[in-house]
Structure 1
Amino acid sequence: MSEGRKNRRQKQDKKKLVLPFVSADKKRQKPKKNETNRKSTTKTKKPKGPGLSKVTKISIAVLTLMVIAVIAGGVFFLKQYGQVITTAVDAGQQQAKSIQESDFKQFRPTTILDVNGNTLKELKTQERDYLSYKDIDPLVSEALISIEDRRFYEHHGVDTQGLITVGLNAALGRGVRGASTITQQLVKNIYLTPEVSISRKVEEMVMAQALEQKFSKEQILEYYLNNVYFGNGAYGINAASRVYFGKSINDTTLLEKAVLVGITNNPGMYDPVSNKENAMKRGKTILNEMLNQGYITNADFEKATNDDFTASIHSEALDNDLGDNEIALAVDSATKILMEQQDFRFQYQFDSAEEEERYNQEYLDAYNKVYQRILSGGYEIQTKIDPTIHQQMQDILTRVMESWPNMDPEKNIYSKQAAMTVIDNATGSVVASIGGRGEEGNTYNRAFLSYRQPGSAIKPLVSYAPAYGRGLLETSTVSDDRPNNNYPNNIYMGSRGNLTLRNALAMSSNVVAYKLAMDNQAELQEPVYQPLAQMQFTGLDVADDNPIIAVGGMTYGATTQEMASGIATLVNQGNYRMPTNIQSIKRKDNDQEIFNLNDSPQRKVYSEDAAYLTLDTMKAVHQDEDGTATDTNLAHNQYWAIKTGTTDEAKDLWTVGATPHYTVAVWAGDDTPQPQDNASVGKATRQIFQEAMDLLNEGKEDVDFQMPASVTNQDGQLVTRSSQAKQVLATRQSALAATTQNIDGLAKTKANELIAEKLNSPTVSEASSFSTQLLADRIQTLSQFELIVTDNQDNWKTFDQYAQQVWALVQNVEPAGGTLSNQYTSVYRNKEAQYAQEKAALTADVDRINNDIKTTEDQSKQLDQQIEDLKKELNIRSSGSSGSSSSRTTPSSSSEAEEGD
């Protein structure tokens, strides 16, 4: 054994011997009294002096203040976070009960099964790359300990000094980061989401201590080194060594080992391929720590720091190819399901760009962690994948797109691409996810990974369904005129005047969709994109709270999977279901089912009548003579909905729609957005939609979408409960206002008749002969005039006419002004102020009526929800009584306001 290695072993053995605790459940032994302070048996006399020096007094004062500050901080901490800590401790203890070795060593491959139970894919990484502690060069764990947790062998999962630091930081408002031990990091990597909070930190600490009770220090090091993420898809240090250096970790140099260990702090910043300078600096920092802590000799240090390394990506080192579109979707869905079970808080709308950036990083960290667990093995994923249907859908898309044979010379795939998602409306599951044209090497699944501007295809979800929820009907009219240049242009570059909502969607009026979105935002008092956020559209941005998204002008865009799930929500009477091709997930180590699609909750996004009216309106897109899809016909269905979409310069082309049985969303365009020929590429999306629907619906019953009880057909017009409630309220409010105005108006008219008689009574023709008393009487009579201000009557002009007559008389008597002039001016100004006040009150009444209408509509929505809740409760009770039970990618384009259909 070399001298350096011998020193390292002695230091490690020494650290093991001086552990302050024998085990976590045994108390520390206090020293016996006769063994305390045995430094000397001879008493030493204290030197006499005048007392404490000034410096000593200052030191004691400072120390006292520090102690008081620590105590005050502790009191504040407990007061502020006491209940949070208690809850977190309970949660950590509960989670700790389920900790087992198989959580870290999944040698059973993850198996993905098709709809018939046949194995589609086995995923495994640890079987080849996993190394036990005794098989890993000790330098690796020593490098890790030196930089991440120098007191690793002295604590029991939690570093006391680190705990104090965290407490003080929290009390001082500096957050709760830092001071994590290797054991805590392992807990966070395997069991917890990357959320930064007091509760999560406490939960992490509780579980770390439980982990150290169950496993030895060597096992913890082994689990950590085999599970931590090293970037570029490599989990575990042996896999990382193969990816970056093309060899096992035990065959690397000391510098390469240090560089690899350094990656774990920040895989992007310390990537040895793309950021070699940072990686080298971090590696030398670790080497310096290893020297200072006695793990390596000066000679080892000098040799390693003078060494160099060459890193590159060896992609063949990882053998879990997820090129198959359906399998890629299954693993992605399983990852998100397990993230949710780990209490990751998914977020789809943000108050600021900073909040969005922070969330995106937390999401990426959590996603990568869970994704690796699935790849490492241990799960059985039962899917709804039907290889036959998938191949049929792929064949349709591939064949229709054959008209564009040009290849991208860099990627060696077709320049013009397409994607399609198919959802079974009976279950809400994805039965086909077609991510490209199917050529060799084209493994990127655009169906759920690629955000594209949706154009007019988004109108039913953002503009029309919310408008119908407000009580509008298909026959409601909206002007197609552009009030100013802030409004988008129509594809026909003009106005068609007042359009019914049915006509407007058929011809895809951008102005009407924009106006509806504005009204939805104002009346519902919620973001324009609220329905999309409820349906988990992942490409939403802070800037998307803008009516322009109603014509497709989103910051990032949407995927075909999101668009399909949105239309499927309409078919499912406004209830959103998570789009996935997974039926169930089991853990192989205990055969426990941890997810079943049948138990997945649904979320109410639109009212039943709003959803139905939207689908009925979408029928006009292929039924009306000026609809944008009149060239599309289905062979087996007469009841179906469709919407086309075209963005600025036709860079993205869409066709989305549904029959009662299936929903299909199709996109076509270039991976890097380029102008397209709308006539040919747009027609291709409709052809793919048509052929897919014909194949899927063959043999299915030709039925209409289910009409809810809240919708009735009155003389050929569909009327909803929301519209009826709005109409009844408006009628009652108008009748009440009219009656009140009529009574008030009659009384005021009668009074004014009497005043008019007095003002028009025979008088001396010459104003100069009027007495002062007579004019004062006329002014007093004028003050008694009753103003009438209603929505259909206004007598201010009559009053003003009489007033001018009186003023003419006053001026003849008092040409230079005087008492009569002042009396007249006072009366006139009072009447003028009264008139302005009553006009303002009339406007306020109109606003109040509108607010009452909204309140009634909200109450109607609440009633709908209560009915739905009662239905669910009845279903649950019925099920219980019968005894049955069952166990982000880079955006493809910037915001583009739509000018197409």
Structure 2
Amino acid sequence: MGAFIVLYMVIDIPEGNADAELQSNVYEYSDGTIMARDGDRNREIVDLARVPKDVQRTFVAAENKTFYKDGGVDLKGTARGVLNTLSGKGAQGGSTITQQYVKNYYLTQDQTVSRKLKELVISLKLDREKSKDYILAGYINTSYYGRGAYGIQAAAQAYYRVDAEDLTVEQGAYLAALLQAPNQYDWAIASDTGKKLVQQRWNYVLDNMVEQKWLDPGERGAMKFPVPQEPKAAPGMEGQTGYLVEAANTAVKKQLVEQGVAEDLEQAKALLDRGGYTITLNIDKKKQKALEKAVKERLTSKLDPKKRKVDADVQAGAVSVDPRTGKVVAMYGGVDYVKHYTNNATRQDYQPASTFKPVILAAAVEKGAETQDGVPITADTLYDGDSEHPVTDDGKEVGFAPPNEDDTNYGEIPVQEAMNKSVNSVFAQMGVDVGMTEVMRVAGELGMSEDLDPYPAQTLGSMGASPLQMAGVYATLANHGKKVTPSIVKTVEHKDRTLEMPDPVGQSVISRRAADTVTSVLTGVVDDGTAKASVRDNPLRDGQQVAGKTGTSDNNKSAWFTGYTPELVTSVGLFGEDDKEPHPQVPMYKAGGVDHRVNGGGFPAEIWAAYTFGVMDEVKKFDLETEQGSGVKPTRSPTQSETPSQTPSQEPTTEEPTTSAPPQTSSAPPTSEPPSQTPTTQPPTSSSPPPTFELPGGPDEPLNNDRE
């Protein structure tokens, strides 16, 4: 008691601490020039009289029911917090609104005994010297609500687009509930668990108000949860800037946790939001502008929602990576951050489709896999390429028989040509030959999501992936199998710390032989496959060797081209997203004035070529350690009199499948090694119709023959 009296006498109410004077963060391009500042703190102090009385009470009901009666402290809660701190159990135990305000405005967030004792004394003195309304006003004006909003006025605008004086009780209860965990409870980004928890917290607040007789039970029973509006970007984040800043912040928060500076992402965000950071990105200003220009010239300038409603539903995303360093040198997140909040470059909710096929081949070569007939899988191995050919495992059908694009039958076809023409039936069988568990393991090693389900339909790229992830996968191939984890942040500096970012280039995850073989095969897609129209014959190419793969998903909801030169990997994705909330995935048929569907060899490949060849400094060849694929074989360009090779966009053939190998294409002349003698499986007969099957996604998304 004597010690406490001494503390009470020597500790005065201080001025607001430095943490209350929040700073901006500065974001720079790789050359050190300023990209953006996150601006002044999004806060506007409002008088408590402007906040409806019932809304004021939602905060009291949420945090401190006895606020109007207590002395400003919770002695039991504080004692419990001190004991937990001393015993190493962390920050546990409750505190009053007064104590929370003192911690926010006068002290720091440090969990130390001295800070807790100061909090106790200052809270007691503040409660004696100031009114409850003064303390409550300070509390709701200094608290952080998520979405960059500090104080109730900014929070009201951020979540409901209204001023604090126009908030309803239901809305106030949601904002009061948010204070417990702003990021976890933000409806726009919350997980299913987070949404459930915030609704429980919302109910808790209103029930407490009934208990305190601040709310009529009948009115309470009629109240419905007020779902907040979608986030609105902060001023100054227009165009691509907001997407770049958002991606950089995500990387910094993750690193703050991994280095132990923050315990979790919630605390990491709080640290970042306090400001004072200078974050230099790997973004190359020249390449960034070139990528934006390529998207505008090759896509957005051709979209006219007034002529075609579908044009309003087309979203583009792209990521460009230097495979030697792992640096993200350019990123396109969408038409404008203030108009389309979701970053299309990092979203993972659309299927990568046939851009996944190279992963299957990589797994096959890495494992040294064989066909069902015991033939080693190489670029020359023959497969049955007929549409809807049943996939077999150890001689038994697995219940999966995917159609090729436009139901085209190819008969017996080598792997190189199957990759060029993106033949679904071949890679579905190859995935089972390799083993789907192995294919999914390699996918994870290369940079896709971990723990992908190993069912055969995944060979069609039916999982979700982002342009950022696919750029990483292909960058690892381009880097001869050494793992590339694309990095957007170069350096992070703060007056209190220098944050070390991880090396984007790691150890080999697949052999150089496997990676180089896939690269060699993918040159055929450009020279004699689905990307030749947009890439091979581009006048800016100047002889540059290119590897890449197109992809078009079910019902034309996504279209991709991911390709690379020895020095630059770029993944471009187009996504069909309804421009009306809640923004479901939709088809893109005839968008931009195309005759039928939007293919990966169309707009995505055109964007890729315009950007890549536009920023290319010099022509270089791949350094490949493999004897397989188009990249290591002599090639010739077809003359004008020659008929182009069959592509998946042609009408289905009426010829019966051949029983011998087809003639070699111009991109794959015979080698010294003879091709396999037989296909891996026999073509289906008319008396044995292919089994039915379904892709994941439910009855509203049936598999069709649009996918390549």
Task: State the TM bucket, normalised to the shorter chain.
Answer: 0.5 to 0.7
Asked whether the 8 Å contact 1:152–1:181 carries over to 2, the reply is no
Q: Deviations over 1:266-298 (max 9, x none)?
A: 779898xx9999888544444467x5xxxxxx8
Residues 284 and 688 of structure 1: CA distance in aligned 2, closer, same or farther (over 3 Å): closer
CA distance in 2, matches of 1:495, 1:314: 49
The letter for the 2-side match of 1:666 is V
Q: Deviations over 1:433-458 (max 9, x none)?
A: 12335698355431222532211111
Task: Please say if 1:537 is aligned against 2:448.
Answer: yes
Give the deviation of 1:657 after TM superposition.
0.7
| Equivalent residue, structure 1, for 2:532 | 629
Q: How many residues of Structure 1 are paired with residues of Structure 2 in the alignment?
A: 564
SS at match of 1:645: strand
| Equivalent residue, structure 1, for 2:422 | 508
Q: Which has the higher contact order (CA 8 A, sep 6+)?
A: 2
Asked whether the 8 Å contact 2:323–2:569 carries over to 1, the reply is yes
CA distance in 1, matches of 2:451, 2:236: 32
Asked whether the 8 Å contact 2:233–2:337 carries over to 1, the reply is no
Residues 449 and 302 of structure 1: CA distance in aligned 2, closer, same or farther (over 3 Å): closer
Task: Please say if 1:393 is aligned against 2:291.
Answer: yes
Task: Please say if 1:121 is aligned against 2:40.
Answer: no
Q: How does 1:785-800 map to 2 (within 5 A)?
A: none
| Equivalent residue, structure 1, for 2:402 | 488
| Equivalent residue, structure 2, for 1:606 | 510
SS at match of 1:448: coil
| Equivalent residue, structure 1, for 2:479 | 572
Residues 393 and 141 of structure 1: CA distance in aligned 2, closer, same or farther (over 3 Å): closer
What are structure 1's unaligned runs of at least 5 residues? 1-16, 25-99, 168-175, 191-204, 292-297, 346-364, 719-889
Give the deviation of 1:396 after TM superposition.
1.7
| Equivalent residue, structure 1, for 2:692 | none
SS at match of 2:491: strand
Asked whether the 8 Å contact 1:106–1:378 carries over to 2, the reply is no
| Equivalent residue, structure 2, for 1:550 | 459
Q: How does 1:26-175 map to 2 (within 5 A)?
A: 104-105=19-20, 107-124=22-39, 126=41, 128-129=43-44, 145-147=63-65, 153-155=74-76, 157=78, 159=80
Asked whether the 8 Å contact 1:419–1:666 carries over to 2, the reply is yes
CA distance in 2, matches of 1:386, 1:897: 41
Q: Deviations over 1:208-232 (max 9, x none)?
A: 6575257557589999867765466
Asked whether the 8 Å contact 2:325–2:504 carries over to 1, the reply is no
Q: Deviations over 1:133-152 (max 9, x none)?
A: 9xx99989865652599995
| Equivalent residue, structure 1, for 2:116 | 212
Give the deviation of 1:567 after TM superposition.
0.6
Residues 567 and 234 of structure 1: CA distance in aligned 2, closer, same or farther (over 3 Å): same
Give the deviation of 1:460 after TM superposition.
0.6
Which protein is bigger by CA-based radius of gyration? Answer: 1
More helix by share: 1
Q: Deviations over 1:436-487 (max 9, x none)?
A: 35698355431222532211111112x0111111135634514225245613
Q: Deviations over 1:501-521 (max 9, x none)?
A: 322212222122112222332
SS at match of 1:116: coil
Q: What RMSD over aligned residues (CA atoms) do the two structures have, in Å?
A: 5.5
The letter for the 1-side match of 2:554 is D
Structure 2 counterpart of 1:694, from 607, 610, 613: 613
Residues 265 and 445 of structure 1: CA distance in aligned 2, closer, same or farther (over 3 Å): closer
Asked whether the 8 Å contact 2:42–2:150 carries over to 1, the reply is no
Give the deviation of 1:659 after TM superposition.
0.2
| Equivalent residue, structure 1, for 2:678 | none
Task: Please say if 1:562 is aligned against 2:469.
Answer: yes
Q: Deviations over 1:794-837 (max 9, x none)?
A: xxxxxxxxxxxxxxxxxxxxxxxxxxxxxxxxxxxxxxxxxxxx
The letter for the 1-side match of 2:498 is E
Asked whether the 8 Å contact 2:143–2:150 carries over to 1, the reply is yes
Structure 2 counterpart of 1:520, from 426, 431, 434: 434
The letter for the 1-side match of 2:478 is V
Asked whether the 8 Å contact 1:506–1:621 carries over to 2, the reply is yes
Give the deviation of 1:612 after TM superposition.
0.9
Asked whether the 8 Å contact 1:258–1:287 carries over to 2, the reply is no
CA distance in 1, matches of 2:516, 2:560: 22
CA distance in 1, matches of 2:6, 2:328: 55
| Equivalent residue, structure 1, for 2:642 | none
Structure 2 counterpart of 1:662, from 563, 568, 577: 568
Q: How does 1:200-279 map to 2 (within 5 A)?
A: 207=111, 209=113, 211-212=115-116, 230=145, 234-237=149-152, 239-241=154-156, 243=158, 260-265=175-180
The letter for the 1-side match of 2:572 is V
Q: Deviations over 1:375-428 (max 9, x none)?
A: 442211111233443222222211222574332899998333333221122321
Q: Deviations over 1:351-383 (max 9, x none)?
A: xxxxxxxxxxxxxx9656544543442211111
| Equivalent residue, structure 1, for 2:244 | 329
SS at match of 2:500: strand
Asked whether the 8 Å contact 2:36–2:236 carries over to 1, the reply is no
Asked whether the 8 Å contact 2:420–2:522 carries over to 1, the reply is yes
Give the deviation of 1:581 after TM superposition.
2.3
The letter for the 1-side match of 2:604 is T
CA distance in 2, matches of 1:431, 1:642: 19
Give the deviation of 1:611 after TM superposition.
0.8
Residues 564 and 408 of structure 1: CA distance in aligned 2, closer, same or farther (over 3 Å): farther
Residues 509 and 144 of structure 1: CA distance in aligned 2, closer, same or farther (over 3 Å): closer
SS at match of 1:419: strand
| Equivalent residue, structure 1, for 2:489 | 582
Asked whether the 8 Å contact 1:514–1:548 carries over to 2, the reply is yes
Residues 379 and 541 of structure 1: CA distance in aligned 2, closer, same or farther (over 3 Å): same
Give the deviation of 1:338 after TM superposition.
2.3
CA distance in 2, matches of 1:18, 1:412: 76
The letter for the 1-side match of 2:423 is S
SS at match of 2:365: helix
Instruction: Judge which range, 665-674 or 152-161, deviates more.
Output: 152-161
Residues 217 and 567 of structure 1: CA distance in aligned 2, closer, same or farther (over 3 Å): farther
What are structure 2's unaligned runs of at least 5 residues? 9-15, 127-134, 188-194, 369-375, 391-396, 578-584, 590-595, 634-696
The letter for the 2-side match of 1:573 is H
| Equivalent residue, structure 2, for 1:436 | 334
Q: TM-score, normalised by structure 2?
A: 0.64
Q: How does 1:438-837 map to 2 (within 5 A)?
A: 441-442=339-340, 444-449=342-347, 451-461=349-359, 463-471=360-368, 474-480=378-384, 482-483=389-390, 486-491=400-405, 493=407, 495-521=409-435, 526=437, 528-538=439-449, 544-554=453-463, 557-587=464-494, 589-590=495-496, 592-596=497-501, 599-600=503-504, 602-624=506-528, 629=532, 632-633=535-536, 635-671=541-577, 672-676=585-589, 677-678=596-597, 682-697=601-616, 699-700=617-618, 702-707=619-624, 711=626
Asked whether the 8 Å contact 1:455–1:898 carries over to 2, the reply is no
Asked whether the 8 Å contact 2:26–2:36 carries over to 1, the reply is yes
Q: How does 1:871-890 map to 2 (within 5 A)?
A: none
